[in-house]
Structure 1
Amino acid sequence: MDLQDQLKNLFPDHVPETPKVSEKKSDIWLQEAPILCKYEKRKGKPITILEGYNGATSDFKKLAKEIKTTLSVGGSFKDDKIIIQGDYRDKIMEMLKEKGFSVKRVGG
């Protein structure tokens, strides 16, 4: 006899609660204006640039870190821009749309 059976014997009228599944909300501030997703080549190598976020700098840094770890790529955060090594516009745009951001593709 396991613990659940013992509890049912002790409290026959009790109905166990099912745990509520809560949606994970982003702690990053969502803006209404779209984030611009650009493609450039610097020194012959492709990069993806995200700019146009007008929230807190710390939120944008968190977003940059999350994008870099999810895609397993290098990048940096400079001058209120996220610079990702490689052409990952489509994947980044999908990730941002899932989080609730509006994204605009610029160039190419």
Structure 2
Amino acid sequence: MKNDQSRRQGVIYSTNSDFAYQTNEPAEAATLPPQQQQLRVQLDKKQRGGKKVTLITGFVGRDEDLQTLGKLLKTKCGVGGSAKDGEIVVQGDFRAKVLEILLKDGYKAKQIGG
């Protein structure tokens, strides 16, 4: 989280005792329950040096919940990857296994592409 002073641009001091500074940062979206998530599982190898990765997109929610789901999928597949910007990247072609794990955990997921 950013330092409190770095978010307060343009306000130096206020003499109003009831003053509450309003930030322009958007509120973080609440994580939808697994039954309402529309996840898409696909194979991707663009801009990755020809390496194949399983890409899971469509996650709506907090970044901490995305990290938790990403860690679960990477652990179950026994590989590395990352989870950021609403996407989970699992190294290798694990579309079927990832889809099975997501469906078993109650997520609405479907495979995209061949």
The SS at the match of 1:45 is coil
Question: 2:66–2:84: 8 Å Cα contact kept in structure 1?
Answer: no
Aligned to 1:35: 39
User: Which residue of the partner structure matches residue 63 of structure 2?
Assistant: 57
Which amino acid is the alignment partner of residue 59 of structure 1? D
Residues 61-85 of structure 1 deviation map (CA, whole Å, 9 limit, x = unaligned): 1000011111110101122110110
TM-score when normalising by structure 1: 0.69
Q: Does the 8 Å CA contact 2:54/2:92 hold for their aligned counterparts?
A: yes
Give the letter for the 1:64 counterpart: G
Other-structure match for 1:96: 102
Larger Rg: 1
Q: Which of 85-94 and 53-62 deviates more? A: 53-62
Percent sequence identity over aligned pairs = 38
Equivalenced residue count is 81
- 1:36 and 1:85 map into 2 onto residues whose CA distance is 16
The normalised TM-score by structure 2 is: 0.66
Asked whether the equivalents of residues 42 and 112 of structure 2 are also in contact (C-alpha less than 8 Å), the reply is yes
Residue 67 of structure 1 aligns to which amino acid in structure 2? L
CA distance in 1, matches of 2:57, 2:44: 13
Which consecutive segments of 4 or more residues in structure 1 shift more than 4 A?
none
How far apart, CA to CA, are the structure 2 residues paired with 1:90 and 1:97?
A: 11
Partner of 1:20: none
Q: How does 1:1-108 map to 2 (within 5 A)?
A: 29-41=33-45, 42-108=48-114
Q: Alignment RMSD, CA only?
A: 1.5
Q: Secondary structure at the match of 2:34?
A: coil
* C-alpha contact 1:31 1:53 (8 A) present in aligned 2: no
